Amino acid sequence: MKTIGKLLIVLFIVVCGVLVVLFIRPSSNSFAQKVISRPDESIKTWLLEQTPLGTSLENVRAYATNQHGWVIYDDNEGWSPDAPGSGGKGPPGPYFCGKLGRYSEKGSEFDTCVAVFWVFDSSNRLDNILIWKTLEGL
């Protein structure tokens, strides 16, 4: 009888642990959604906390791909004259672009796609972060 009691206690603890993991722990996806739905300056501030100005291009790329699994476009690809901070011109320096994700406002027919441009100086050190949000129809 004591063995059955111990078994039930262990089973109860395991079930409680599984429930905590499944229902209480926030998913990384919901965290990302909360971050990318913020105003542009707030996203930029958060990214600068993770990858401060002066960080090497290699370390920024590793952070973006390894830490978050963000889709990173090839270096110097994806720039548009409409990109933030471009003033209708080409890129201000070496850069790469990452797609942070997309979100929908409640009741909206459109998704907001959020991209980031990490811009580097001539020494390949982070010089600026530009956030670009575009709307896409469903």
Distance CA 14, CA 96 (A): 45
**In the block, which residue shows the tokens 């004591």?**
2
pLDDT at 59: 93
pLDDT at 116 over 60: yes
The three-point CA angle 52-56-60 to 5° equals 65
Average pLDDT of span 111-137: 87
H runs (alpha helix) in the chain: 2-19, 28-36, 40-50, 57-62
- pLDDT tens string 30-57: 556 678 888 999 999 999 999 999 999 9
Which of 40, 38, 118 lies closest to 73, judged by CA?
118
Higher pLDDT, 101 or 26: 101
Q: Quick one: tokens of 58?
A: 């290699």
Higher pLDDT, 32 or 66: 66
Distance CA 78, CA 104 (A): 23
Q: Please, which pLDDT band fits residue 22 given cuts at 50, 70 and 90?
A: very low
Q: Please, which pLDDT band fits residue 23 given cuts at 50, 70 and 90?
A: very low
Sheet holding 110-120, edge to edge: 71-72, 95-104, 110-120, 126-137
Which of 107, 105, 95 lies closest to 133, judged by CA?
105
In angstroms, how far is the first alpha carbon of the chain from the final one? 60
